[in-house]
Homo-oligomer: A and B are copies of this chain.
């Protein structure tokens, strides 16, 4: 029922293949195809522990459906150190974010919709999935080759595109748990039991979740314009499960239960199989998810506790200027917000430049 293979996602300068473990859980028939990936950014370790805990849930009670678990998804990023920390957020050569290199094209979507205006849902799904497969195969066949990050992303995406549900497990820097929710899936997102939520539009920016919800969502939207109703047939979420460079198996267990509960609703287990203590869940629109950049350089004292609402005008950080010691100038600059907000994450270092992203905030929040 549970098996492991290795997927080659690149080759390193010393000839060593960059390999990713791919675990398959063959559940009972009748459930969805679910793809769960973790640790595409090298320092974002916690998702692996969540996958390990989730696998225990599958062992404890056999689910319906097929599950593909991909921990340690980026061997290059995981092994890339710079000082003590893991420099695995972007390709060390090009600076490109590993999670912005998935493929998406809706260039010929109109033609597809016209051709399938009267097809049934199963036919549409099969044809659309075949179109996604062909798009990726075409890119992989480029006689000019592909970038390192694209090579990796496309090989992962080939697995993920077979799924009905795609869950991409990340973490923030110093971060509360938060969830990117495609607007259409809002009603079922609360089952994850993640306190902070960002509602996404159907745009594509290169990330794994978008690479899976955008095509199907835009398909649904285009059909709607043509007068045909088609639900979005794929769910995709990015779960940010705490801080990077940190491993917390106990919290991983709780988050695996949240995933289990969401998957109950999707048909994998009877509802009520997994019990979690409900957390308060805030949400905002992506356009209201705001980064705060430092107005100056200095050494920073973070004042705003993550996950707790903060009022406009109240200092969220004090940036110290120790180079002024013994001078008469103010020793620090305080930073506050133009509106009420909930801090989601903050920068992982206490040493900042002018323009460093200090915090990210939910603003104009509402209950999920």
Contacts and interface: CB of A to CB of B under 8 A. Distances in A.
A353 B292 CA distance: 33
Given A42-B351, A87-B82, A356-B93, A71 B323 contact: yes
A85 interface: yes
Given A12-B353, A93-B356, A326-B2, A299 B48 contact: yes
A263 to B, nearest CB: 18
Contacts of A13: 78-79, 81, 86, 297-299, 351-353
A349 B84 contact: yes
A343 to B, nearest CB: 13
Interface in A324-354: 324-327, 331, 337-338, 347-354
Contact of A293 (B97, B144, B356): B144
A246 B350 contact: yes
A18 to B, nearest CB: 8
A150 B355 contact: yes
Interface string A55-95: 10000000000000101100110111111111101111111
Interface residues on A, range: 35 or more
A247 interface: yes
A276 interface: no
**Which of A84, A93, A95, A321 has the most chain B CB atoms closer than 10 A to its own CB?**
A84
Nearest to A90: B95
A297 B349 CA distance: 25
A45 B24 CA distance: 40
Interface stretch (A3-11, A206-214, A267-275): A3-11
B301 A247 contact: yes
A295 interface: yes
B298 A354 contact: no
A79 B323 contact: no
B347 A84 contact: yes
B10 A327 contact: no
Contacts of A15: 72, 297-298, 321-324
A122 interface: no
B247 A320 contact: yes
Chain B CB within 10 A, most for which of A294, A296, A321, A350 = A350
Given A13-B297, A71-B322, A356 B48 contact: no
Interface of A: 2-4, 10-16, 18-19, 21, 23-24, 39, 42-43, 45, 48-49, 51-52, 55, 69, 71-72, 75-76, 78-87, 89-97, 143-152, 173, 245-249, 290-301, 320-327, 331, 337-338, 347-357
15 contacts: A13-B78, A13-B298, A14-B72, A45-B351, A48-B322, A51-B322, A52-B320, A76-B79, A80-B81, A81-B92, A83-B89, A83-B92, A85-B85, A144-B291, A245-B348
Which 9 A/B pairs are nearest by Cβ-Cβ distance?
A148-B355, A145-B293, A23-B326, A90-B95, A95-B95, A4-B326, A48-B322, A15-B323, A11-B297
